């Protein structure tokens, strides 16, 4: 179906102030969608209360309103402009909640404005915890045992029925706000009160906790003709229990069997096609029992999300740009693939590299803040690295964290004994991956770490691989360092400074650089082309590696 020509002016709702748990990714989506709509000759009006965003630059939209994200502000804009449609899927949960509130007050109907990209029924089905649960049961998609509570007493009663450990999940909140785990009766009262007050509709889902299960996220696009593509499958390094925004994530999924992947893929498409009136980007989260491969649905976000921004950068597929075009009526097969310029946007990216996202925290600035990670997101940003292998990508990401880490290691800083380290890594904290590496360096077995953390053993073996190379490098001086070992270290993501610190002599990173350069061990640049060189890429970007 070609573009809906009745849409001349679109209002885009932004995500408001940048707060912990809602970082700048929505700015990326908002600015991409504004440009995408203006390409089509559509006039774009934008509201966002945050002036420190790219999307509020006067160049981005035809008119920008720096106003609080309230229904009064929306009404003011509708009075001052002739607006045909509103696009609420680019501003996170904040924008969806505002669109829903305006709908309930009859604002859209009063000014003859229609919602595009998503409708209120789809928002309710996805974001109202009880409606989502009932919807999944109707579709035959397994979910964790749970009940919805609208009062404190109801929540307490359900908690006793379901049994501990529990998860409290408030409806219509972003970044896991108000959510948390309850392990004992003593913690229940506080967790219930916090969840009920965080939810704008005073509702929480009291759910059985599937701690230790693996967590996956699928990024999808759907058009109005029910075509669905899966852009990216993201695997959480950490098991269930940590908000996905606070977890190290890896794409493509590394430890998923083909049968489990196909089941996850088919289930996600089934959910997407039953969502209702929806055209755009969406993400579905699943949890998988590592022992039995039993799958349960966790949630669906009927909007472009934090993960969509990551998936866009990771695959080269401009999710927000395409989602905006789908919202105004185009189908996927009518849009050009932005990378190849010859094939259509109705394709699924193929990755011949590994992406690792590592969140960034700033607990130093928040004295007294609890640095244990859980369901409520605490990170203030993230870094993303691309490599030919997981080991290279994780080391590159750690080098980018600006927290004095040199690759995966704080050299000379860890003074903990192995038994203390095993106890320490049982609790998820911001530096857990560094402490896992310290434990492996001290000879703690992979099996012990897997049991302590619930992290898949494949990831632990990859970190063990980094430790083995490090132990080997430590036997040599720069002059005696074997060429093959140096090559292998560079392929596994070791920086020159890292190698200099590990070597059995006082060496600088400049000396390591000069030696490897003289040996012809230099950086090469590989292409992010979304289709593994199956078609020629016209608008590529690159990442560096030491693979030949």
- The answer on 276 and 195 residing in a single domain is no
**Does residue 252 have a cis peptide bond before it, meaning omega lies within 30 degrees of 0?**
yes
Sign of CA dihedral 377, 380, 384, 390: negative
Domain of residue 517, CATH code: 1.10.1030.10
What tokens appear for 459 in the block?
A: 């990831």
Number of neighbours of residue 165 by Cβ within 10 angstroms: 15
Domain final residue pick, 309, 327, 349: 349
- The answer on 517 and 495 residing in a single domain is yes
Domain final residue pick, 191, 208, 225: 208
CA distances (Å), origin 286, targets 214, 265, 349, 545: 8, 10, 20, 32
CA distances (Å), origin 200, targets 14, 29, 130, 154: 19, 25, 15, 18
Taking phi first (over 0 means left), then psi (-120 to 50 degrees means alpha), and beta for anything else, what does residue 486 get?
alpha
In this structure, is residue 532 part of a structural domain? no
What tokens appear for 71 in the block?
A: 């229904």
Domain of residue 190, CATH code: 3.30.1490.20
In this structure, is residue 317 part of a structural domain? yes
- The answer on 489 and 380 residing in a single domain is yes
- What's the rounded Cα separation, in Å, for the pair 401 and 361? 9
* Phi/psi at 329 (5° precision): 115, -20
CA distances (Å), origin 510, targets 122, 169, 402, 498: 57, 51, 20, 11
- The answer on 504 and 374 residing in a single domain is yes
* Phi/psi at 361 (5° precision): -120, 165
Domain of residue 251, CATH code: 3.30.470.20
Number of neighbours of residue 125 by Cβ within 10 angstroms: 21
Strands (E), 100-227: 114-115, 146-149, 166-170, 180-182, 204-208, 214-222
In this structure, is residue 89 part of a structural domain? yes
- The answer on 264 and 405 residing in a single domain is no
- What's the rounded Cα separation, in Å, for the pair 339 and 347? 11
Residue 105 host element (H or E): none
3-class secondary structure, 117 = coil
At 23 the pLDDT is 47
Domain final residue pick, 156, 188, 208: 208
Contacts of residue 136, defined as CB under 8 A and 6 or more positions apart, other chains included, come to 142, 143, 271, 297
In this structure, is residue 122 part of a structural domain? no
At 395 the pLDDT is 94
What tokens appear for 25 in the block?
A: 């990714």
Using DSSP bridges, classify how beta strands 85-87 and 9-13 pair: parallel, antiparallel or unpaired: parallel
User: Could you give the strand order of the β-sheet that contains 204-208, starting from the edge strand earlier in sequence?
Assistant: 146-149, 204-208, 166-170, 180-182
In this structure, is residue 3 part of a structural domain? no
In this structure, is residue 4 part of a structural domain? no
For tokens 């509130």, the residue is 101
Spatial contact of 286 and 295, defined as CB atoms under 8 Å apart: yes
- The answer on 457 and 440 residing in a single domain is yes
Range of the domain at 345: 214-349
Spatial contact of 438 and 416, defined as CB atoms under 8 Å apart: yes
- Count how many domains the chain has: 4
- The answer on 392 and 446 residing in a single domain is yes
Spatial contact of 61 and 81, defined as CB atoms under 8 Å apart: no
- The answer on 107 and 151 residing in a single domain is no
- The answer on 365 and 506 residing in a single domain is yes
3-class secondary structure, 201 = coil
What end-to-end distance do the CA atoms of the chain give, in Å? 46
- The answer on 319 and 200 residing in a single domain is no
- The answer on 385 and 462 residing in a single domain is yes
pTM (global) more than 0.85: yes
Using DSSP bridges, classify how beta strands 85-87 and 114-115 pair: parallel, antiparallel or unpaired: parallel
- The answer on 168 and 79 residing in a single domain is no
In this structure, is residue 94 part of a structural domain? yes
Within the chain, which residues score under 70 in pLDDT?
1, 18-25, 174-176, 337-343, 410-415, 529-540
What tokens appear for 202 in the block?
A: 């005073």
Residue 390 host element (H or E): helix 390-399
In this structure, is residue 121 part of a structural domain? no
**Does residue 396 have a cis peptide bond before it, meaning omega lies within 30 degrees of 0?**
no
Write the burial class of residue 39 (CB in 10 Å: 0-12 exposed, 13-18 middle, 19+ buried): exposed
Spatial contact of 241 and 87, defined as CB atoms under 8 Å apart: no
Task: Tell me which residue of 229, 216, 223, 219 sits closest to 260, measured CA to CA.
Answer: 216
């Amino acid at each position: 179906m070609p573009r809906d020509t009745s849409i001349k002016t679109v209002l885009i709702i932004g995500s408001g102030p940048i707060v912990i748990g809602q970082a700048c990714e929505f700015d990326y989506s908002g600015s991409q969608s504004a440009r995408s709509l203006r390409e089509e000759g559509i006039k774009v009006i934008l509201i966002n209360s945050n002036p420190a965003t790219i999307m509020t630059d006067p160049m981005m939209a035809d008119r920008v309103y720096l106003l609080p994200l309230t229904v009064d502000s929306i009404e003011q804009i509708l009075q001052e402009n002739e607006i045909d449609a509103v696009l609420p899927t680019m501003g996170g949960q904040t924008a969806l909640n505002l669109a829903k509130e305006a709908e309930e007050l009859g604002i859209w109907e009063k000014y003859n404005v229609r919602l595009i990209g998503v409708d209120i029924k789809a928002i309710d089905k996805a974001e109202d915890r009880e409606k989502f649960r009932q919807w999944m049961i109707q579709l035959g998609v397994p979910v964790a045992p749970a009940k919805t509570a609208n009062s404190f007493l109801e929540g307490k009663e359900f908690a006793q029925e379901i049994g501990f450990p529990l998860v409290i999940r408030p409806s219509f909140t972003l970044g896991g706000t108000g959510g948390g785990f309850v392990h004992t009766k003593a913690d229940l009262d506080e967790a219930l009160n916090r969840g009920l007050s965080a939810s704008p509709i005073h509702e929480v889902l009291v759910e059985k906790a599937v701690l230790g299960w693996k967590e996956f996220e699928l990024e999808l696009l759907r058009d109005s003709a029910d075509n669905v593509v899966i852009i990216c499958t993201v695997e959480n390094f950490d098991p269930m229990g940590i908000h996905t925004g606070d977890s190290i994530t890896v794409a493509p999924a590394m430890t998923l069997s083909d049968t489990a992947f196909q089941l996850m893929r088919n289930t996600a498409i089934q959910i997407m096609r039953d969502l209702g009136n929806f055209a755009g980007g969406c993400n579905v989260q699943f949890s998988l029992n590592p022992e039995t491969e039993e799958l349960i649905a966790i949630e669906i976000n009927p909007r472009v999300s934090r993960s969509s921004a990551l998936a866009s950068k990771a695959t080269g597929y401009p999710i927000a740009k395409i989602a905006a075009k789908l919202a105004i009526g185009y189908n996927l097969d009518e849009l050009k693939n932005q990378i190849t310029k010859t094939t259509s946007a109705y394709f699924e990216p193929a990755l011949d590299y590994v992406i690792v996202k590592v969140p960034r925290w700033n607990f130093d600035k928040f004295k007294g803040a609890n640095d244990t990670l859980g369901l409520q997101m605490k990170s203030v940003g993230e870094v993303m690295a691309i490599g030919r292998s997981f080991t290279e990508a994780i080391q590159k990401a750690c080098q980018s964290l600006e927290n004095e880490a040199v690759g995966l290691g704080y050299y000379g800083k860890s003074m903990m004994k192995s038994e203390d380290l095993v106890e320490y890594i049982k609790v998820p904290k911001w530096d857990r991956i560094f402490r896992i590496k310290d434990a492996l360096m001290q000879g703690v077995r992979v099996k012990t770490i897997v049991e302590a953390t619930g992290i898949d053993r494949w990831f632990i073996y990859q970190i063990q691989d980094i430790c083995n190379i490090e132990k080997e490098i430590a036997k040599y001086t720069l002059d005696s360092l074997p060429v093959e070992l140096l090559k292998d270290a560079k392929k596994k993501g070791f920086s020159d400074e890292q190698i200099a610190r590990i070597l059995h002599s006082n060496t600088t990173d400049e000396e390591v650089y000069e030696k490897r350069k003289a040996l012809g061990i230099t950086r090469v640049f590989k292409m992010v082309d979304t289709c593994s060189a199956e078609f020629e890429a016209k608008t590529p970007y690159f990442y560096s590696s030491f693979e030949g």
